[in-house]
Amino acid sequence: MRQLIYRFNMITPTFKGTITKGKLNLKNTEAFDMWCGSLEGKEVDCIVRERKKDRTIAQNSFYWLYLTLIEKETGNDANDVHEVAKRMFLRPRFVMVMGKEVKLPNSTTNLSSQEFSEYLDKICAWCGVPIPIIEY
């Protein structure tokens, strides 16, 4: 499912990592190496910036498009599929309310691009509806 991440930003892919002791450590060096291989011999720009938000508006729109497709294929309401999938595939979060610890479903907005991709893969395997490929 790794391809999905890069389809959102096909012109300028984003590779995530950290800076440790002044050195860049990429999370997915394999994908980075593949992308760099496709640019062999070309001039490139390299931009390193502090990461602000994990999931984009485009990814959120894509997610709800996919949930709508699942609704049409299965007859299950997209919002219900969303709520059930969160409970099935995301780690719960715990909050204190009125002095009591309460278990709540996590939010998909907290997922990194990689985690979001894996989450979609799990939904696909569960419901059997293929994830659409969006070409730009």
pLDDT, residue 71, reads 97
Domain spans in the chain, listed from the N-terminal domain onward: 2-38, 57-127
Q: What does the pLDDT look like over 46-101, one tens digit per residue?
A: 888 776 555 677 888 899 999 999 999 999 999 999 999 999 999 998 889 899 99
CA 28 to chain centre: 14
- Residue 83 pLDDT: 95
pLDDT at residue 55 in the model: 67
pLDDT at 1 over 60: no
pLDDT-derived band at 28, boundaries 50, 70, 90: confident
Alpha-carbon radius of gyration of the chain: 18
Check pLDDT > 50 for residue 108: yes
Region 107-135 average pLDDT = 89
Least confident of 9-13, 24-28, 31-35, 39-43: 9-13
The pLDDT of residue 57 = 77
23-26 and 100-104 strand pairing: unpaired
Kind of pairing, strands 17-20 and 23-26? antiparallel
The string of pLDDT tens digits covering residues 119-132 is 999 999 999 999 99
Q: Write the CA distances from 18 to 14, 23, 45, 51, 117, integer angstroms.
A: 13, 8, 19, 9, 20
Q: Residue 80: CB partners within 8 Å, gap ≥ 6?
A: none
